[in-house]
Amino acid sequence: MTVVRHFLKWINTARVSERAAAASALAQAYAGKSLPFEDRCAAEAALTLLLEDPSAKVRMAIAEALSMSRHAPPQILAALASDQPDIASLVLARSPLFSDDDLIDRVASSVGAVQRIIAGRPYLSMAVSAAIAELGEAEACIALLANSGADIASLSFRRIAERFGDVAAVREALVADPELPSDCRHMLLVKVGEALRRSPLVTASIGQVRAERITRDACIKASMTLIDGIRSKEHAALVEHLRLRGDLTSAFIVRIVAYGKIDFFGSVLVALTKQHRKRVTALLAGGRDVALAALFRAAGLPASMDRIVLCALKAWREVADGRRIAGAQEVSWLMLNELGDRPADTNLAALLKSIHLEALRGNAREHALAIAAA
């Protein structure tokens, strides 16, 4: 008690460096719990008074000493957390005493710098991550995504993608996260396409109509690539996302069948028919044409697609059984031949022809690259 009394009298005449060193020593002694009870009470009072010191160096010294202590006085931590950014960052980034509610309140009431500091804490609960995803600025969301100690819910990923999918740095951080749900990845693909379509340079160079067609085709191709890169348990979420966006069209279904995405096609049928996955999988693997056609009707697929889809399924079954060597180029050609020379649906024929030419070009490109690498 006597030491603290002398300290409080001395600080009025001490230099800044001396006050900072003394404040640090007092805070460390308090954090170490080495002081008797009465001295701890006096030290707490002195540290609280030092929060009014005009020098940031003194307050910084206290923050450094108490930032990782589980015994720091809450009123002192709260005051330091509201201090200037470099001081606040120490306690907000380190202190184990801030509850989820405290951190959420700080996220809601603070600017980007403080939000970013909170987002980088060693551990963040799902609730705090959700608050940052919902209320944080773009930089805070980037820091959250870079934090391996953050527990981020699927819904929070979606909110970040919805709010900042147009920001390149956020998109990059989202795509780099292995936990990003597949529907969020597709959302980002669409946002990139929309950004390109709205670009004045693109529309001035190739025209609005062609820009829309090119970006639409690019998004479709990117979606096909996305299907290959996600786990089967994510298929249902991506199917629902495509359905809600209106992208689960007959043309898209023809394309995924032509490219052999049969597992994903099965997920589409499960979502559209509400039938059990085992039954749908069994039908795709070995069901008769009549049973498959009935399944397609239940899914709302047009009858004009039956022949070409059944043709593709038979070809992919033979590939799976080792009785045929084929890829999208060969299967799309078989589907075209199934339509005949005078197809009833010219749009379907044009789609299959474009898929076939696309596969031809892709195979030729891979062949050329293989030759160059040899």
Q: What is the rounded distance in angstroms from the CA atom of residue 243 to the CA atom of residue 327?
A: 27
pLDDT by residue (tens digit) across 241-287?
A: 788 778 888 989 999 999 999 999 999 999 999 999 999 999 999 99
Mean pLDDT of 33-45: 75
Q: Return the top range by mean pLDDT from 157-171, 197-211, 226-240, 288-302.
A: 288-302
pLDDT by residue (tens digit) across 191-210?
A: 766 666 666 665 666 566 66
State pTM to two decimals.
0.61
How many CB atoms lie under 10 A from the CB of residue 190?
A: 19
Q: What percent of the chain has pLDDT over 90?
A: 28
CA 4 to chain centre: 52
Mean pLDDT of 47-76: 84
Residue among 240, 235, 241, 237 nearest 262 (CA):
235
pLDDT by residue (tens digit) across 97-117?
A: 888 888 988 888 887 788 999
Q: How confident is the model at residue 38 (pLDDT cuts 50, 70, 90)?
A: confident
Q: Which carries the bigger pLDDT value, residue 32 or residue 135?
A: 135
Contact assessment for residue 138 and residue 164, using Cβ atoms and an 8 Å cutoff: yes
Residues 6+ apart with CB under 8 A from 269: 275, 280, 284, 295, 296, 299
pLDDT of 208: 63
pLDDT of 66: 86
pLDDT of 214: 62
Residue among 300, 290, 265 nearest 280 (CA):
265
List the domain boundaries for the chain. 1-98, 102-174, 181-241, 249-374
Residue among 210, 162, 155, 150 nearest 186 (CA):
162
Q: How confident is the model at residue 227 (pLDDT cuts 50, 70, 90)?
A: confident
- The mean predicted confidence, pLDDT, of the chain is 84
Q: Is the pLDDT of residue 211 over 60?
A: no
pLDDT by residue (tens digit) across 124-166?
A: 999 999 999 989 999 999 999 999 999 998 888 888 988 888 8
